[in-house]
């Protein structure tokens, strides 16, 4: 059965590391829904969070193939254990006359923040799991969207433990 | 003592420290500094090829025969792109190799400089790993990592891309070669999981219709003696993949021949009907399994492999064991002895009886036809005359299958072919690499008139370095395997599979300074082979004019199960 998985990858913070992962996915025909990468508190490591879909066999292969990349230090499927998922979305919508009030109220309900205002638009910042952001977009209904920027999902395990780096 | 060296000198010192006997390569602008450093020493030899693809295949042949990593040196741009086919060939067959590519100076990278390509980008999908060295102070450490990665775990090619300024002879830096290397992100598993091994042993000794199926991992992992002990201890039937031939002696009664698309009837039928399949160092390639839905329908499957990603990739297995074939077999042997060996003697006897019936079909028999030379006959005679003891390389196509089917290899590392990528042009340079490693051994390249022309320029390298291999060309004037598929599956529409305007190979060989022979009659085959092999220090090119209509049998057509073979 095809399921959505959030895969966290710790990798050496080296030039070309991102393209190794992206290349692996395109070469083997795995899909990437979103991909997010940035340095960590350890300057030698980057953390990548990748959202993909696949049945158990495909996900197992994805994790094995990722582990096979020499630059990859650690791979974890967040979905295996309790975890928190967050994504940042910036959305610019048309806000004129009656819709100004409507957009403002919806943003409040979804705990978004209006971070930029013009005569005819609001820009809203919203943080949450992907499905919450999707729900907000659905709730906008007939309000016309000018632009959407999404960061892609981030994931972190619940509890005291972090992703451990094995010894060299 | 503090030693200061240039990047070029450091590179040479690294090669010495790794025990590299020879580098196969071709010079060019970006590697001139490195060539200058190589020129000023004697320890590391250099073999000048005629095309960079040839350099990589030579290093590959050297590596496959010796087990040591092959080393290649090519220049930037076209030097590197020409090497890519060879690198991909080595990658698909997991061959340890370090390929040093020149690069434009660091300040020009990204400027579309003369002979600039993104080597790291182009080779990324076909290497185990690659590096761009931007600082001469990182060079020694990177070379150490490159050899370590190439030769450990599941081996593979590693590319080290070195910009010209990094090897500038005017820049001297302190040099020590690191004694050890540790990578926090790379820990190949060698030892198999004890619990999994015990589970496997339980299945193995209780099997009623067992089958041992082994691949290139046993050859690469130097485990062929252990495999032989294991198989004989149990008295189980065994088959080898194309890449695994020689890991178990072909002349042994328990050996059922190669399996897969052009495997034997007995091997494929035993695969299909077995109840326990013991897969060792093999990767369930599509040419082996046929239709996956029909593969080994009644078997519990045990899979030993050093690469976890090979396990349950194509076929879901019941008992996966990640580890080196050697270590796992070492652990298994005493456990089998403790268990008292195979526990189902009656079922096993019945299984052998069934297998002998399949074997009695004699699926590799072929019809001779007067003086027309049958390609299979040439390979059989080659085996006789070399007493089955030659190193045999091949190109890709019908001749490759006939060599695999009719030259019974009793020892590992002797059958050298491009199994995964299927690279035409591999055979001749690979043979030269083997001959370079083992000048006193008999080395034969079995090829066809199509494949040989893809790297024929290396006949010139053979003369320069005195590498007197024997070339057995099965010349049927067709791209035979293409022709065979067109006959079977395209109603005989032979699109572009007929070779017109072939050169006179005898004169061609002679013009390269070698001996050429054309053999047109079946009764001349043996004499010609004897004459050629008597010329110990000459490269002899034997152009056998073979039956153009001959096909490779048996055959599992695409989409069929292993039990659905075409026999003739």
Q: What is the mean pLDDT of each run of 10 residues along chain B (568 residues)?
A: 90 98 98 98 98 98 98 98 98 98 97 97 98 98 98 98 98 95 93 98 98 98 98 98 98 98 97 98 95 96 97 96 98 96 97 98 94 98 98 98 98 98 98 98 98 98 98 97 96 94 97 98 98 98 97 94 90
CB contact under 8 A, A70 and B132: no
Nearest by CB to A65, from B132, B309, B312: name it. Answer: B309
Give CA separation, B364 vs B17, B258, B405, B484, in Å. Answer: 48, 11, 8, 17
If contacts are CB pairs under 8 Å, which of residues 101-120 in chain B contact chain A?
Answer: 120
CB contact under 8 A, B182 and A168: yes
ipTM over 0.90: yes
3-state secondary structure chain A: CCEEEEEEEEEECCCCHHHHHHHHHHHHCCCCCEEEEEECCCCCEEEEEEEEEECHHHHHHHHHHHHHCCCEEEEEEHHHCCEEEEEEEEEEEECCCHHHHHHHHHHHHCCCEEEEECCCEEEEEEEECHHHHHHHHHHCCCCCEEEEEECCCEEEECCCCCCCCCCC
Cα-Cα end-to-end distance for chain B = 72
Would residue B164 show up in a list of annotated catalytic residues for this protein? yes
Query: How far, rounded to the nearest angstrom, does the alpha carbon of residue B223 sit from its chain's CA centroid?
Result: 16
Check residue A1 and give its pLDDT: 85
Q: What ranges make up the beta strands (E) of B15-154?
A: 22-25, 45-48, 70-74, 97-103, 129-132
Rounded Cα distance between B471 and B509, Å, is 10
Residue A104 has pLDDT above 70, yes or no: yes
> By CB neighbour count within 10 A (0-12 exposed, 13-18 middle, 19+ buried), where does B237 fall?
buried
Nearest by CB to B186, from A16, A64, A70: name it. Answer: A70
What is the interface size between A and B, counted as CB pairs within 8 Å? Answer: 44
Rounded Cα distance between B548 and B399, Å, is 12
Asked if residues B178 and B144 have their Cβ atoms less than 8 Å apart, the reply is: yes
Mean pLDDT for all residues in chain A: 94
Structure confidence at residue A98 as a pLDDT band (50, 70, 90): confident
Is B312 within 8 Å of chain A by CB?
yes
Nearest chain B CA: its distance from A97 CA (Å) = 51
Six-digit token pair at B57? Answer: 């295949």
Asked if residues B479 and B499 have their Cβ atoms less than 8 Å apart, the reply is: yes
Residue B211 phi/psi, 5-degree rounding, is -150, 130
Nearest chain B CA: its distance from A4 CA (Å) = 20
The Cβ-side half-sphere exposure at B397, using a 13 Å CA radius, reads 29
Please confirm whether the linkage preceding B554 is cis (ω < 30° from 0): yes
> By CB neighbour count within 10 A (0-12 exposed, 13-18 middle, 19+ buried), where does B401 fall?
buried
Nearest by CB to B184, from A57, A67, A168: name it. Answer: A168
Rounded Cα distance between B160 and B474, Å, is 38
Is B180 within 8 Å of chain A by CB?
no
Residue with structure tokens 């085996």? B383
Q: Which ranges of B307-456 would DSSP assign to H, the alpha helix?
A: 325-338, 345-359, 375-385, 398-406, 427-437
Rounded Cα distance between B250 and B405, Å, is 10
Nearest chain A CA: its distance from B130 CA (Å) = 9
Check residue B234 and give its pLDDT: 98
Between helix B375-385 and helix B398-406 the angle, nearest 10°, is 40
Q: Using one digit for the tens of pLDDT, what is the confidence trace for A65-83?
A: 999 999 999 999 999 999 9
Cα-Cα end-to-end distance for chain A = 37
CB atoms within 10 A of CB B127: 24
Nearest chain B CA: its distance from A58 CA (Å) = 9
Structural element, H or E, at residue B66? helix B52-66
Rounded Cα distance between B377 and B367, Å, is 10
Rounded Cα distance between B227 and B286, Å, is 24
3-state secondary structure of B64: helix
pTM of the model: 0.96
Check residue B558 and give its pLDDT: 87
Nearest one of B437, B326, B412, B394 to B63, comparing CA atoms: B437
Q: Using one digit for the tens of pLDDT, what is the confidence trace for A40-57?
A: 999 999 999 999 999 999
All residues of chain A having their beta carbon less than 8 Å from the beta carbon of residue B307 are 68
Close Cβ partners of B222 (under 8 Å, ≥ 6 residues apart)? B67, B326, B412
Rounded Cα distance between B557 and B296, Å, is 17
Give CA separation, B504 vs B175, B295, B456, B462, B526, in Å. Answer: 54, 46, 13, 19, 22
Check residue A164 and give its pLDDT: 80
Close Cβ partners of A61 (under 8 Å, ≥ 6 residues apart)? A28, B309, B313
Structural element, H or E, at residue B515? strand B515-519
Check residue A168 and give its pLDDT: 66
* Active-site pick, B164, B300, B435, B470: B164
Is A44 within 8 Å of chain B by CB?
no
Strands B443-447 and B391-394, by their bridges, are parallel
Q: Which residue of B has its CA nearest to A26?
A: B125
Is A165 within 8 Å of chain B by CB?
yes
């Amino acid at each position: 059965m095809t399921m959505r998985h959030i895969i966290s990858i710790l990798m050496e913070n080296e030039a070309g590391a991102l393209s190794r992962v992206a290349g692996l996915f395109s070469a083997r025909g795995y899909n990437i829904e979103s991909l997010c990468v940035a340095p960590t508190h350890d300057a030698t490591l980057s953390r990548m969070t990748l959202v993909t879909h696949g049945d158990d066999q495909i996900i197992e292969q994805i994790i094995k193939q990722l582990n096979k990349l020499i630059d990859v230090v650690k791979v974890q499927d967040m979905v295996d254990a309790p975890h928190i998922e967050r994504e940042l979305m910036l959305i610019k919508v048309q806000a004129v006359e009656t819709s100004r009030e409507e957009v403002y109220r919806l943003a409040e309900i979804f705990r978004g923040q209006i971070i930029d205002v013009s005569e005819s638009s609001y820009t809203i910042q919203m943080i949450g799991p992907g499905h919450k952001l999707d729900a907000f977009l659905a709730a906008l209904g007939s309000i016309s969207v000018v632009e959407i920027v999404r960061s892609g999902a981030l994931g972190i395990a619940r509890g005291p433990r972090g992703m451990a780096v094995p010894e060299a | 003592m503090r030693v200061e060296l240039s990047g070029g000198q450091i590179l040479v010192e690294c090669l010495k420290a790794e025990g590299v006997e020879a580098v196969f390569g071709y010079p060019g602008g970006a590697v001139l500094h490195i060539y200058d450093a190589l020129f000023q020493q004697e320890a590391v030899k250099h073999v000048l090829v005629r095309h960079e693809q040839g350099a990589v295949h030579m290093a590959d042949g050297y590596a496959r025969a010796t087990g040591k990593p092959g080393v290649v040196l090519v220049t930037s741009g076209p030097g590197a792109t020409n090497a890519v086919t060879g690198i991909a060939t080595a990658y698909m067959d997991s061959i340890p190799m370090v390929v040093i590519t020149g690069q434009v100076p660091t300040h020009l990278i990204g400027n579309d400089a003369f002979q600039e390509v993104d080597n790291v980008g182009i080779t990324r999908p076909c290497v185990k790993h690659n590096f761009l060295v931007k600082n001469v102070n990182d060079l020694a450490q990177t070379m150490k990592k490159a050899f370590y990665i190439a030769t450990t775990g599941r081996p593979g090619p590693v590319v080290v891309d070195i910009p010209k300024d990094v090897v500038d002879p005017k820049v001297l830096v302190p040099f020590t070669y690191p004694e050890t290397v540790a990578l926090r992100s790379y820990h190949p598993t060698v030892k198999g999981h004890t619990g999994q091994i015990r589970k496997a042993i339980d299945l193995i000794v209780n099997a009623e219709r067992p089958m041992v199926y082994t691949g290139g991992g046993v050859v690469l992992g130097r485990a062929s003696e252990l495999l032989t002990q294991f198989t004989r201890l149990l008295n189980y039937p065994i088959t080898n993949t194309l890449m695994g031939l020689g890991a178990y002696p072909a002349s042994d009664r328990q050996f059922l021949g190669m399996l897969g698309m052009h495997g034997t009837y007995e091997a494929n039928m035993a695969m299909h009907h077995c109840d326990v399949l013991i897969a060792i160092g093999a990767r369930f390639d599509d040419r082996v399994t046929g239709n996956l839905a029909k593969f080994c329908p009644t078997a519990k499957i045990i899979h030993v492999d050093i690469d976890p990603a090979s396990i349950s990739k194509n076929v879901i297995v019941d008992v996966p064991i990640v580890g080196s074939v050697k270590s796992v077999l070492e652990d298994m042997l005493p456990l089998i002895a403790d268990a008292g060996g195979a526990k189902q003697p009656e079922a096993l006897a019945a299984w052998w009886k069934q297998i002998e019936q399949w074997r009695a079909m004699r699926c590799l028999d072929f019809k001779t036809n007067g003086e027309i030379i049958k390609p299979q006959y040439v390979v059989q005679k080659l085996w006789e005359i070399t007493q089955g003891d030659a190193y045999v390389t091949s190109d890709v196509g019908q001749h490759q299958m006939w060599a695999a089917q009719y030259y019974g290899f009793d020892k590992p590392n002797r059958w050298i072919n491009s199994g995964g990528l299927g690279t035409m042009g591999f055979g001749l340079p690979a043979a030269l690499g083997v001959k370079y490693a083992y000048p006193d051994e008999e080395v034969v390249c079995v090829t066809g008139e199509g494949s040989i022309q893809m790297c024929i320029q290396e006949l010139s390298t053979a003369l320069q370095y005195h590498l007197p291999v024997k070339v057995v060309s099965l010349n049927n004037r067709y791209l035979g395997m293409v022709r065979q598929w067109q006959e079977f599956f395209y109603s005989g529409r032979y699109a572009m599979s007929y070779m017109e305007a072939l050169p006179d190979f005898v004169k061609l060989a002679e013009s390269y300074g070698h001996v050429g022979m054309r053999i047109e009659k079946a009764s001349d085959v043996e004499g010609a082979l004897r004459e050629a092999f008597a010329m110990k220090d000459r490269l002899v090119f034997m152009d056998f004019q073979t039956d153009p209509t001959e096909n490779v049998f048996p055959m599992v057509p695409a989409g069929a199960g292993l039990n659905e073979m075409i026999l003739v």
